[in-house]
């Protein structure tokens, strides 16, 4: 039940992000700054220690989770070479505006959303603390995903009705991902390897999407403190919760 409720919360976060994109960008930098801190804290203070702890107790060579961590980072980097995943300036896209680009972005985010929900479920298979920390990070960056996708589709002249349909798909996918995690039980060694992949995925999100947008030239002065607050919050949760 808790996995279902948290994936629903992740879906609502994406919906709020999309709604904010339609209404305006006022709070985007603040949300991205806080989320970037949450993601960085999740990887450094929760996922990596959990990976090394499982590797030690299960006598798993930690090189395997590190390989999947690198693979997760590079996979999404290569994926972005073929499918545009971030909103850019008009100068960047120039004459290449086309509704198909907006649709491609929505399709990519749908798969991404499924993995978000799956990660929440897998996190709770490791422990309640890991599941909670993963959920916080996922819910936080779901807002940014919903906002970014909607903005991208608006820029590429997708009709509002078309945007709403794809936003609905993006909203449903985390729930399906979370529910899918309930039908199988991974071994601890497999969990460690998967968490390595997820850590690489999270690092890429922070490095290529959240941090650059949160701390752009036009960002408010409070974005850096919010990023630090996100890191400190995850540290406190993982150490004392």
Residues 6+ apart with CB under 8 A from 112: 145
| pLDDT for the residue 26 | 61
Could you report the per-residue pLDDT of 189-204, keeping only the tens digit for each? 888 898 898 888 878 8
Q: What is the C-alpha separation between 31 and 241, in angstroms, rounded?
A: 23
Which tokens hold the place of 116? 């978000």
Element (H, E) at 78: helix 63-82
**How many angstroms separate the Cα of 47 from the Cα of each of 16, 18, 136, 194?**
27, 29, 13, 10
Q: What is the C-alpha separation between 45 and 69, in angstroms, rounded?
A: 15
The candidate with the shortest Cα–Cα distance to 17, out of 213, 25, 38, is: 25
Q: What is the C-alpha separation between 240 and 168, in angstroms, rounded?
A: 37
The percent of residues in the chain predicted with pLDDT above 70, rounded, is 73
* Residues 7 and 177: beta-carbon distance below 8 Å: yes
**What is the pTM assigned to this prediction?**
0.64
**Confidence grade of residue 98 (pLDDT, cut at 50, 70, 90):** low
The DSSP 8-state label assigned to residue 229 in this structure reads H
Q: What is the C-alpha separation between 89 and 235, in angstroms, rounded?
A: 35
Which tokens hold the place of 199? 């850590």
Phi, psi of 159 (to 5 degrees): -70, 150
Please say if the pLDDT value at position 51 is more than 80.
yes
């Amino acid at each position: 039940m808790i996995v279902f409720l948290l994936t629903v919360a992740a879906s609502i976060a994406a919906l709020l992000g999309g709604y904010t994109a339609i209404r305006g960008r006022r709070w985007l930098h603040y949300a991205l700054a806080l989320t970037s801190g949450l993601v960085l804290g999740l990887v450094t203070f929760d996922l990596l220690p959990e990976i090394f702890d499982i590797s030690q107790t299960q006598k798993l060579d930690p090189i395997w989770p590190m390989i999947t961590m690198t693979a997760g980072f590079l996979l999404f980097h290569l994926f972005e070479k073929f499918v545009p995943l971030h909103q850019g300036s008009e100068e960047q896209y120039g004459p290449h505006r086309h509704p198909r680009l907006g649709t491609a972005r929505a399709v990519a985010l749908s798969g991404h959303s499924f993995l978000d929900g799956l990660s929440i479920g897998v996190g709770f298979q490791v422990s309640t603390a890991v599941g909670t920390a993963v959920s916080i990070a996922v819910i936080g960056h779901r807002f940014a995903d919903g906002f970014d996708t909607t903005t991208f589709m608006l820029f590429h002249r997708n009709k509002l009705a078309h945007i709403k349909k794809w936003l609905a798909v993006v909203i449903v996918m985390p729930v399906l991902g979370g529910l899918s995690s309930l039908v199988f039980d991974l071994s601890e060694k497999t969990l460690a390897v998967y968490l390595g992949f997820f850590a690489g995925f999270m690092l890429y999100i922070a490095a290529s999407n959240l941090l650059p947008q949160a701390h752009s030239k036009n960002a408010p002065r409070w974005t850096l403190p919010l990023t630090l607050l996100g890191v400190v919050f995850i540290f406190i949760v993982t150490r004392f919760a």
